[in-house]
Structure 1
Amino acid sequence: MLIIVVIMMVTACNSGKKSQQEQTKSAQASVEENWIPLFNGKNLEGWQIKFTGYELGYNLNNTFRVEDGLLRVRYDDWDDWGGQFGHIFYDGEFSHYRLRVEYRFVGKQIEGGPGWAYRNNGLMLHGQSAESMEIDQDFPVSIEVQLLGGNGKNERSTMNLCTPGTNVEMDGILIEQHCTNSGSETFHGDQWVSVEVEVKGGEVIRHFIEGKEVMSYEKPQLDPREQYYEKLLPADGNKIISQGTISLQAESHPTDFRKIELLILEE
Structure 2
Amino acid sequence: MKSAILRPFLGLVLAACVLSLAPASAAYGEKTENEGWVPLFNGKNLDGWYSYLDSSGKNKDPKSVFKVENGMIHILDVPMFEGKSDNGYLATIQEFSNVRIHVEYKWGVKRASEGKRNSGLLYLAVGPDTIYPTSLECQIEETDVGDLWIVNGASVTAFFIAPSLPMYDDDMQAGTRVRSAPGDSLRVLKSGDFENRDGWNSVDVILQGDGSTHLVNGRIVNRAHDIQQPDPANPSRMIPLKSGRILLEAEGSEIWFRDVRVKSLGPSERP
Shared fold (TM-score greater than 0.5)? yes
Please report how far the alpha carbon of residue 57 of structure 1 lies from its aligned counterpart in structure 2 after TM superposition. 0.9
1:207·1:214 contact (CA, 8 Å) conserved in 2?
A: yes
Please report how far the alpha carbon of residue 34 of structure 1 lies from its aligned counterpart in structure 2 after TM superposition. 1.0
Runs ≥4 residues deviating over 4 A: 233-238
Residue 216 (structure 1) aligned with residue 218 (structure 2): no
Partner of 2:156: 168
1:201·1:241 contact (CA, 8 Å) conserved in 2?
A: no
1:93·1:243 contact (CA, 8 Å) conserved in 2?
A: yes
In structure 2, do the counterparts of structure 1 residues 235 and 217 end up closer, same or farther at CA, with 3 Å as the change threshold? closer
Residue 253 (structure 1) aligned with residue 253 (structure 2): yes
In structure 2, do the counterparts of structure 1 residues 182 and 205 end up closer, same or farther at CA, with 3 Å as the change threshold? same
Which structure shows the higher helix fraction?
1
Partner of 2:49: 47
What count of residue pairs does the alignment treat as equivalent?
A: 214
Q: Which amino acid aligns with 1:88?
A: L
**Percent of matched pairs sharing the same residue:** 26
Residues of 2 paired with 1:66 and 1:183: CA distance? 33
Q: Gaps (5+ residues) in structure 1? A: 1-29, 150-155, 223-228
Residues of 1 paired with 2:254 and 2:93: CA distance? 23
1:157·1:186 contact (CA, 8 Å) conserved in 2?
A: no
The structure with the larger Rg is 1
Q: Gaps (5+ residues) in structure 2? A: 1-31, 159-173, 181-185
2:195·2:217 contact (CA, 8 Å) conserved in 1?
A: no
Relative to the length of structure 2, the TM-score reads: 0.71
Matches within 5 A, 1:52-201: 52-75=54-77, 78=79, 82-111=84-113, 115=115, 118-129=116-127, 132-133=128-129, 137-149=130-142, 156-165=143-152, 166-170=154-158, 171-176=174-179, 178-185=186-193, 187=195, 189-201=197-209
Partner of 1:7: none
Which structure shows the higher strand fraction?
2
Please report how far the alpha carbon of residue 214 of structure 1 lies from its aligned counterpart in structure 2 after TM superposition. 1.4
1:183·1:214 contact (CA, 8 Å) conserved in 2?
A: yes
Partner of 1:20: none
2:147·2:188 contact (CA, 8 Å) conserved in 1?
A: yes
Q: Which amino acid aligns with 1:45?
A: D
